[in-house]
């Protein structure tokens, strides 16, 4: 009922800001809600706050009232049952007390050890949550305890098994942690040599970058010089080698002619013969020169 009261107290406050829409509300439900609110707030010693009755607030409060009334009715029934059972227990206790007193077994006339045993029996019955001290009740309670014990033992076995698995995982984790710590220590020891090596690599990289710039500049200078002297890709090493070989062959062919000319230089001078010899040598020289030009042209055309 306390929850119902607090819910009823919060519902009007929440509904106070709602737009008014009571035109379509049911008058009977509104009257039931008002009556329920009045009873709840009067029981709490407070006045019902003013708020607007609209369809949403009335529906919410009506449902809340129905739930509260159902719980109140159930609580009333349970309380009535408890009162009835208490009266029955008191009546039964009085009857048993009268029987014991008539039989001379009143608590005051019993020995202290008997009273202590009876009290212990009652405490055990309360501990086992049984209604009486009959042997059957104790047997049933002990059977229930045995079942609970079996269940607890099964759960304990499962927990022990899980604990062993967790312990195994923990040992493996500790071993891995130890390995990682050892690896970390080794890496920390290797930091200084690695830093020195990295510094050396950085220095070498700077030197290589400087050399690269130097070689790039030299390449650009050489390329400019080759362009300035008229170098073309057709003038390659192979072409120059072939031209040198042709030159050697021409020198071999012209060497006998030169030797012959040198031999004529030792003869006595004769103007007519000398003129004929000169003309003949000129023709031979012109023929050799023409042959050399033809060979050079053929070599150049072959390389192209």
What pLDDT score was predicted for residue 20? 40
Domain boundary among 216, 231, 246: 231
DSSP string, 82-126: HHHHHHHHHHHHHHHHHHHHHTT--GGGS-HHHHHHHHHHHHHHH
The residue length of the chain stands at 304
Same domain, 205 and 270: no
Q: Which of 66, 85, 109 is the last residue of a domain?
A: 109
Give the confidence band of 15 by pLDDT, cuts at 50, 70, 90.
Answer: very low
What average pLDDT does this structure show over 26-49?
83
Instruction: Classify residue 12 as exposed, middle or buried by CB count within 10 Å of its CB (0-12, 13-18, 19+).
Output: buried
Cα gap 13→17, rounded to integer Å:
8
The number of distinct structural domains making up the chain is 3
Average pLDDT in the 188-212 region? 89
- pLDDT classification of 162: cutoffs 50, 70, 90: very high
Q: Quick check: is 177 in a domain?
A: no
pLDDT of residue 207: 93
| 27-31: average pLDDT | 84
| Structural domain contains residue 32 | yes
Pick the more confident residue, 6 or 214.
214
The per-residue pLDDT for 265 is 65
Instruction: Mark whether 220 and 297 lie in a shared domain.
Output: no
Answer yes or no: do 94 and 17 share one domain.
Answer: yes
In whole angstroms, what is the distance from residue 157 CA to residue 95 CA?
Answer: 50
122 occurs within a structural domain:
no
Inform me whether the pLDDT recorded for 18 exceeds 60.
Answer: no
Do residues 213 and 264 both lie within one domain? no
Whether residues 261 and 227 share a domain: the answer is no
| Exposed/middle/buried for residue 9 (C-beta within 10 Å: 0-12, 13-18, 19+) | middle
Question: In the predicted model, what is the mean pLDDT of the chain?
Answer: 80
On whether residue 275 sits in a domain, the answer given is yes
Domain final position from 231, 249, 275: 231
Same domain, 9 and 46: yes
DSSP for 222-246?
A: HHHHHHHTT--TTS-HHHHHHHHHH
142 within some domain: no
pLDDT of residue 269: 59
Residues 13 and 90 in one domain: yes
Report if residue 188 sits inside a domain.
no
What would the mean pLDDT of 44-66 be, rounded to a whole number?
84
Domain assignment of residue 45, yes or no = yes
Q: What is the average pLDDT across 232-247?
A: 76
Residues 293 and 204 grouped into a single domain: no
Question: 52 by DSSP, 3-state: which?
Answer: coil
The predicted model scores a pTM of: 0.33
User: Does 116 or 216 have the greater pLDDT score?
Assistant: 216
Residues 37 and 88 in one domain: yes
- The residue-averaged pLDDT of 223-249 equals 78
pLDDT: is 102 or 163 the higher one? Answer: 163
**20 vs 44, residue with greater confidence:** 44
Residues 265 and 292 both lie in one domain:
yes
One domain for residues 213 and 255: no
Residue 157 lies inside a defined structural domain of this protein: no
Please give the residue range of the domain that contains residue 224: 199-231
In b/e form, how buried is each residue of 255-268, taking b as 16+ CB within 10 angstroms? eeeeeeeeeeeeee
């Amino acid at each position: 009922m306390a929850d119902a009261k607090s819910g009823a107290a919060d519902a009007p406050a929440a509904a106070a800001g709602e737009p008014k829409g009571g035109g379509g509300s049911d008058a009977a439900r509104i009257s039931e809600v008002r009556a329920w609110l009045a009873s709840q707030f009067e029981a709490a010693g407070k006045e019902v706050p003013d708020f607007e009755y609209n369809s949403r607030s009335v529906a919410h409060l009506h449902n809340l009232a129905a739930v509260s009334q159902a719980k109140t009715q159930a609580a009333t029934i349970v309380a009535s049952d408890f009162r009835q059972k208490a009266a029955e227990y008191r009546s039964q206790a009085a009857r048993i007390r009268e029987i014991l007193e008539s039989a001379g077994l009143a608590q005051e006339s019993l020995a202290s050890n008997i009273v202590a045993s009876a009290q212990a029996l009652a405490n055990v019955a309360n501990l086992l949550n049984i209604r009486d001290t009959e042997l059957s009740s104790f047997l049933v309670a002990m059977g229930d305890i045995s079942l609970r014990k079996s269940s607890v033992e099964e759960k304990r076995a499962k927990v022990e098994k899980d604990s062993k698995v967790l312990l195994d995982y923990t040992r493996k984790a500790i071993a891995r942690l130890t390995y990682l710590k050892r690896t970390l220590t080794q890496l920390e020891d290797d930091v200084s040599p690695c830093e020195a090596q990295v510094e050396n690599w950085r220095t070498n990289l700077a030197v290589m970058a400087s050399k690269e710039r130097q070689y790039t500049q030299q390449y650009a200078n050489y390329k400019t010089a080759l362009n300035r002297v008229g170098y073309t890709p057709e003038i390659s090493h192979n072409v120059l080698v072939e031209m040198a070989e042709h030159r050697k062959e021409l020198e071999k062919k012209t060497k006998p002619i030169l030797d012959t000319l040198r031999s004529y230089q030792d003869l006595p001078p004769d103007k007519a013969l000398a003129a004929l010899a000169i003309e003949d040598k000129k023709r031979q020289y012109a023929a050799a020169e023409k042959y050399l030009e033809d060979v050079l042209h053929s070599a150049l055309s072959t390389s192209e």
